Structure 1
Amino acid sequence: MADHLPYKPKPGDIPTDPGVYRFRADDGTVLYVGKAKSLRQRLSNYFAPLHTLHERTRRMVTTATHVEWTVVPTDVDSLQLEYQWIKEFNPPFNVKYRDDKSYPFMAITLADEAPRVMVTRNAKIRGAKYFGPYPKIWAVKDTIELMLKVFPIRTCNDSSYKKAMATGKPCFPGQIGKCGGPCSGRVTIEEHRAIVDDFVAFMQGGDERFARDLTRKMRAAAAAMDYERAAVYRDQLESIDAVLNRSALVLPDNEDADLFGIAEDELSAAVHLFVIRGGRVRGVHSSTIDKELDISSGDLVDQVLQRAYGEAREEGVPRRVLVPVLPPAHEELEAFLSERRGTKVEIRVAQRGQRAELMRNATLNATQALVRYKSRRTADFAARSQALGDLQEALGMDTAPLRIECYDISHLQGTNVVGSMVVFEDGLARKDQYRSFSIAETTDDTDSIYQVLARRLARLDEPEEAVPDVAELAMSDAEGVVTEASKKKRFSYPPQLLIVDGGQPQVSAAARALREAGRTDIALAGIAKRLEELWLPDDDYPVILPRSSEALYLVQRIRDEAHRFAITHQRKRRRRDIRTILSEVPGLGEARIAALLTQFGSVTSLRGASVDQIQELPGIGPVLAATIYDHLNR
């Protein structure tokens, strides 16, 4: 593969003005859309030598056959044009959004002659005003029920409304007092529209003027001894208080803001939005994002805000937008949103106080949404089957890898080196067959991988009954193989695929262990550090799994599990080794052991320290320091 792209334009041909660019494939498909303050400077990054590019960026530019750009007058214009092109062309290498469809909305059909309030999951009703989404369907129903006591508007469906208006007989909800529309005969269409306007005004800002008006009317009715009317106002006031109390006051009562919490990894992100009006959370919304190219957190925020407000009407854009990090072009985004709203809009980072606390809450919700999204893709049987099939095709295997073993190495600055083996069968973890390996001496991670695999492969041909149990491994194995299981467990069958954590060096070490064991029936792959590519033995370039591939999520989960298991065992062993050795020193209690561990981190570091360095710690004098030194170095 050439190190430069044949369609690379001459630097002098690319303007230095702001603009929007598109990478296209040979058939004209738009692969990626981006914006830039300086087109020449931005595009030069894509045409750097290929070996310096991120793997996924390299795949995009080598798939493309030409690039084109459009110059615009200002940076704000580039934002608008980028959004329009992304929406029009849906480029595969731009971020993809997956809305969480589980949340219901409250909708008011303002385009109708007599607007109705309804619960819906359809976010595309023409002319409707939406509130929410709400976390549970009962929450929006309860809110509507309370609101109808104060603002009795139509709830019946269109067919019931038309029938009632044609016959003059109220609809069934109207007969039982659950519908306050014109079909009930209690109000005219104009009066009903005024009540709807009040309903919308209250929901948009939790306008407390309604509470003040009801309080005034209640007191006036009581003073006039119209106690029945005063009781009606009292009940309405209680309903308003109930609605207000359902959405806690999280910011000052004059605060209108949208707050975005974001959690991300290399492949995906989740966004959790709090819609705050009048200082109260009026709605929440979660969405997940698939990332094809490696983009920064600031660029991700840029994309999120463009999508959130690209088609928003004036009332949909708040005065303040709170984000975890500022996008690079935040000033242009502020101008873009201010144009949408008609007044000044600020983009700020929530750094302290109530806003920071709310941001932590939103980020936690986003983190949980990301975990749920990834878990759903790996827990579904059809998704697991698809993942194994995709993995078989990507690695060129004859059969799907029904049993996969993944290996990782963990250590602390070269000490307490351990290896982990996790097992997945049919795409699910088999924790009873996990193994941990203690490595006494090693030169680096590649040597550790070789040692672990050599020991594992030596046992593959043993009959099932001969596989030793935990006690035998812990007591008789001179190489120190250990396991977390407490009962006798045996392997069901050899793996079809071995995965190691690392790139070509680690894969080469594992391939050497396979060759020496004479195993040609087991496939091998290495997972690069960013979990985005698979390295095969003797291949110069990695296998790039598509972003939407179920195989990529399965491989990511396996690698994460191997890393977690290795780290857990390494920490347990380190604590056990350090505390066991130090507890044998006369005069050392828990407090002094903890101080030593905090200062030196490991027995190896402490063993290399001098007496003077040890006695620098508070509570350790010259005699005790000499005792510690002698005990560790004798």
Structure 2
Amino acid sequence: MGETGGCTNLSVPSHRLVPVADPSTYRPSPGSIPDAPGVYKFRDATKRVIYVGKAKSLRSRLSSYFADLSGLHPRTRQMVTTAASVEWTVVGTEVEALQLEYNWIKEFDPRFNVRYRDDKTYPVLAVTMHEEFPRLHVYRGPRKKGVRYFGPYAHAWAIRETLDLLLRVFPARTCSTGVFRRHGQIGRPCLLGYIEKCSAPCVGKVSAAEHRAIVEDFCDFLAGRTDAMVRRLEKDMAQASEELEFEKAARLRDDIGALRRAMEKQAVVLGDGTDADVVAFAHDDLEAAVQVFHVRGGRVRGQRGWVVDKAEEMDVPALVDQFLTQFYGEQAELAQDGAEPASPVPREVLVPELPADAEAVGEWLSGLRGSRVQLRVPQRGDKRSLAETVQRNAAEAFAQHKLKRAGDLTARSAALSELQEHLGLDTAPLRIECVDISHIQGSDVVASLVVFEDGLARKSEYRRFALKEAAEEGDVASIAEVVRRRFSRYLKETEGTENAEPDTSTPGIDPETGRPRRFAYPPNLLVVDGAGPQATAAADVLAELGITDVAVVGLAKRLEEVWLPADPDPVILPRTSDGLYLLQRVRDEAHRFAIRYHREKRSKRVQSSALDGVPGLGQARKTALIKHFGSVKKLKQASVDEIAGVQGFGRRTAEVVHAALAGSTNGSAEAGHGGEKGS
């Protein structure tokens, strides 16, 4: 990589999130921009990265952003008027530009960049290969190291149907850790073990090595090595028949039938064992839908789709370029973490049109796979027919999205405009933060802080706080403490950056990790769950800290009144108001997040307190007991021998623990008196 350059407007106060009306205030001189490939970043007034892009020619590409504003794509126009500076990095090749663009989008998560996140969480079939006895189960959520995933599937029931068919051939464990441990303790398998849909490793019917071999055969089958598996079973069936083992032959015949039925559920689309991903798009001026069919061994093994806002004016080749970079870059990271198979990129990627830098993209994909990847447009035959099917799916998904969310963008814009008007704000509150307090009668006091940007939750920036026991002022004092801690951190993380040189400082970015700091960006509007006193307390803290450009309101639950600091009367928003609905969603999300944290904290305290006072039992041994038995309730049901079996415990200590728990009363009953409080 080469030189870095940029141009910055430093006239905007560092404590304000205000869109810059005229991009010419930070436009770099065309002669200062190199005519070379590179990657560029737009930053807002707080130096937060809001857009990342790449270009074959930085000079040509950046100049296009400073043309007539009326001719720009609406979202591009919003981006350049929100930005306060632009900078760039020159690279040697287009492949380097692809990699750097992906890394920066991943690192900074710019709000104006398209991110291909699933429009829903697709279920997958997870195989926990990192465990001694691997488990097969339906899973939704982030990928974990040491787990193999198959799918995604459109519906969870499709996974369960497939599992039900295959368990008779591959009788692997499907139960949870608790059930597995319990049946091991009682020495009897579960129902699946009795009907031969589990090899019952919990009671030692098979060894860990034998069970792992079953699971590996299962994974091989789902990975596409189906024909070899069927041929092997047919050979075993013929041999059993020749040896007059008719019962075994009949069982193998049924196993072959089960495998074939499972294979039929994944329709054969290509007869040559194709390993490919087929991609298609449907789009208009503002949004785009993408569908991907994953074909392995000639069969469709999974399908997924996204609908995203377009960051700028983009045709299909540009959409292909952007999607391939982000999608396969993320898949490669999962593979490095051990969460996906070693080769996340298939041998072929079939697209509707080739991107302008198709050769560079193909080279980059080949580098991720470790062998040659073909990036091409299918022209005829089965592959062309499959591509048309994927295209129809993309068009259908886009149509459904339009019907479902026709009013969403309009409603969010209307909500922000209403809040600006009713609350007397200088600008629409593009970033809203909300604080909520949760406790039971003043104990285990915690707080949550949630963030909404452009009317949508930004969960990566949620924060939670453990507070001291509630003071005499109760929730008012707790609100003040949270606001003071949050904005003190904000001032600390942005201290000394107002007059910093653009090339030597990146305010809001941790220099060690390169990631955004936790409290680096202020909200336009701070919402506290409560009425006038809570709002006034929050505003007083901001005034003490010298922050004057963050509006504060309180939202009272009883009548959904909006209170401004020190005002004797509330602001009444219409019940059908989009602005009130947005405030309610923000408040309810903060309440949910606070309650969840409070329950986690209380659960840990209650479990630990039951073991307090037991002689010879320190924190490490308490943790070991809870981890081994799962809960204090199960520990109380354990015998002395079972407690002595925990690592680090002898017979004498086990007897002391058993006697203490047997004679104790259930102190946790008190926790049931007095409901949970989310102020």
Q: TM-score, normalised by structure 1?
A: 0.58
Equivalent positions of 1:131-142 (< 5 A) are 131-142=150-161
Decide which of 247, 264, 289 is 2:283's aligned counterpart: 264
* Deviation larger for 79-88 or 117-126: 117-126
The SS at the match of 2:226 is: coil
Tell me the CA shift for residue 311 of structure 1.
2.8
Q: Distance in 2 between matches of 1:92 and 1:372?
A: 25
Decide which of 226, 230, 234 is 1:207's aligned counterpart: 226
**Judging changes above 3 Å, is the alpha-carbon distance between structure 1 residues 108 and 36 closer, same or farther for their aligned structure 2 residues?**
same
Q: Distance in 2 between matches of 1:135 and 1:389?
A: 33
Task: Name the residue aligned to 2:376.
Answer: 348
Output the amino acid matched with 2:349.
Answer: V
Q: Distance in 2 between matches of 1:71 and 1:181?
A: 60
The SS at the match of 1:269 is: strand
Equivalent positions of 1:54-453 (< 5 A) are 54-101=73-120, 103-166=122-185, 168-312=187-331, 313=335, 314-378=342-406, 389=415
**Judging changes above 3 Å, is the alpha-carbon distance between structure 1 residues 388 and 23 closer, same or farther for their aligned structure 2 residues?**
closer
Verify the 8 A CA contact 1:175 1:184 in the aligned structure 2: no
Q: Distance in 1 between matches of 2:200 and 2:104?
A: 43
Verify the 8 A CA contact 2:291 2:304 in the aligned structure 1: yes
Percent identical pairs in the alignment equals 46
The SS at the match of 1:366 is: helix
The SS at the match of 1:218 is: helix
**Judging changes above 3 Å, is the alpha-carbon distance between structure 1 residues 41 and 253 closer, same or farther for their aligned structure 2 residues?**
same
**Judging changes above 3 Å, is the alpha-carbon distance between structure 1 residues 195 and 92 closer, same or farther for their aligned structure 2 residues?**
same
Cα deviation digits, residues 431-454 of structure 1 (max 9, x gap): xxxxxxxxxxxxxxxxxxxxxxxx
**Judging changes above 3 Å, is the alpha-carbon distance between structure 1 residues 2 and 220 closer, same or farther for their aligned structure 2 residues?**
closer
Decide which of 30, 33, 48 is 1:29's aligned counterpart: 48
Verify the 8 A CA contact 2:33 2:58 in the aligned structure 1: yes
Q: Distance in 1 between matches of 2:366 and 2:255?
A: 37
Tell me the CA shift for residue 277 of structure 1.
0.5
Tell me the CA shift for residue 218 of structure 1.
0.6
Equivalent positions of 1:439-588 (< 5 A) are none
Tell me the CA shift for residue 107 of structure 1.
1.3
**Judging changes above 3 Å, is the alpha-carbon distance between structure 1 residues 362 and 143 closer, same or farther for their aligned structure 2 residues?**
same
Tell me the CA shift for residue 172 of structure 1.
4.7
1:13 aligns with 2:37: no
Q: Distance in 1 between matches of 2:161 and 2:141?
A: 19
Q: Distance in 2 between matches of 1:142 and 1:367?
A: 28
Q: Distance in 2 between matches of 1:132 and 1:360?
A: 21
Tell me the CA shift for residue 206 of structure 1.
4.1
Q: Distance in 2 between matches of 1:379 and 1:176?
A: 52
Tell me the CA shift for residue 137 of structure 1.
2.4
Output the amino acid matched with 1:41.
Answer: S
**Judging changes above 3 Å, is the alpha-carbon distance between structure 1 residues 277 and 310 closer, same or farther for their aligned structure 2 residues?**
same
Tell me the CA shift for residue 3 of structure 1.
7.8
The SS at the match of 1:286 is: strand
Tell me the CA shift for residue 16 of structure 1.
3.0
Cα deviation digits, residues 165-220 of structure 1 (max 9, x gap): 45544345324433225214221111111221111111111431001101111111
**Judging changes above 3 Å, is the alpha-carbon distance between structure 1 residues 263 and 52 closer, same or farther for their aligned structure 2 residues?**
closer
Verify the 8 A CA contact 1:153 1:196 in the aligned structure 2: yes
Tell me the CA shift for residue 255 of structure 1.
0.6
Verify the 8 A CA contact 2:279 2:292 in the aligned structure 1: yes
Tell me the CA shift for residue 126 of structure 1.
3.5
Q: How many residues align?
A: 397
* Deviation larger for 19-28 or 134-143: 134-143
The SS at the match of 2:375 is: strand
Verify the 8 A CA contact 1:334 1:347 in the aligned structure 2: yes
**Judging changes above 3 Å, is the alpha-carbon distance between structure 1 residues 333 and 63 closer, same or farther for their aligned structure 2 residues?**
same
Verify the 8 A CA contact 1:155 1:173 in the aligned structure 2: no
The SS at the match of 1:324 is: coil
Tell me the CA shift for residue 278 of structure 1.
0.7
Q: Distance in 2 between matches of 1:19 and 1:279?
A: 39
The SS at the match of 2:293 is: strand
Tell me the CA shift for residue 4 of structure 1.
6.5
Verify the 8 A CA contact 1:317 1:340 in the aligned structure 2: yes
Gaps spanning 5+ residues in structure 2: where? 1-19, 336-341, 425-577, 580-679
Output the amino acid matched with 1:329.
Answer: D
Gaps spanning 5+ residues in structure 1: where? 399-549, 552-634
Q: Distance in 1 between matches of 2:350 and 2:270?
A: 12
Output the amino acid matched with 1:322.
Answer: L
Output the amino acid matched with 2:229.
Answer: F
Cα deviation digits, residues 493-528 of structure 1 (max 9, x gap): xxxxxxxxxxxxxxxxxxxxxxxxxxxxxxxxxxxx
Output the amino acid matched with 1:253.
Answer: D
**Judging changes above 3 Å, is the alpha-carbon distance between structure 1 residues 54 and 290 closer, same or farther for their aligned structure 2 residues?**
closer
Q: Distance in 2 between matches of 1:142 and 1:384?
A: 41
The SS at the match of 2:382 is: helix
Tell me the CA shift for residue 351 of structure 1.
2.6
**Judging changes above 3 Å, is the alpha-carbon distance between structure 1 residues 227 and 2 closer, same or farther for their aligned structure 2 residues?**
closer
The SS at the match of 1:115 is: coil
Q: Distance in 2 between matches of 1:70 and 1:384?
A: 37
Task: Name the residue aligned to 2:65.
Answer: 46
Task: Name the residue aligned to 1:601.
Answer: none
Q: TM-score, normalised by structure 2?
A: 0.55
Verify the 8 A CA contact 1:21 1:68 in the aligned structure 2: yes
Tell me the CA shift for residue 392 of structure 1.
6.4
Output the amino acid matched with 1:146.
Answer: L
Verify the 8 A CA contact 2:116 2:323 in the aligned structure 1: no
Verify the 8 A CA contact 2:123 2:152 in the aligned structure 1: yes
Verify the 8 A CA contact 2:291 2:394 in the aligned structure 1: yes
The SS at the match of 1:316 is: coil
Tell me the CA shift for residue 310 of structure 1.
0.9
**Judging changes above 3 Å, is the alpha-carbon distance between structure 1 residues 229 and 189 closer, same or farther for their aligned structure 2 residues?**
same
RMSD: 2.7
Verify the 8 A CA contact 2:269 2:298 in the aligned structure 1: yes
The SS at the match of 2:258 is: helix
Verify the 8 A CA contact 2:23 2:81 in the aligned structure 1: no
The SS at the match of 1:262 is: strand
The SS at the match of 1:152 is: coil
Tell me the CA shift for residue 316 of structure 1.
2.0
The SS at the match of 2:89 is: strand
- Specify the structure having the higher radius of gyration (Cα): 1
Verify the 8 A CA contact 2:23 2:80 in the aligned structure 1: no
Tell me the CA shift for residue 231 of structure 1.
0.9
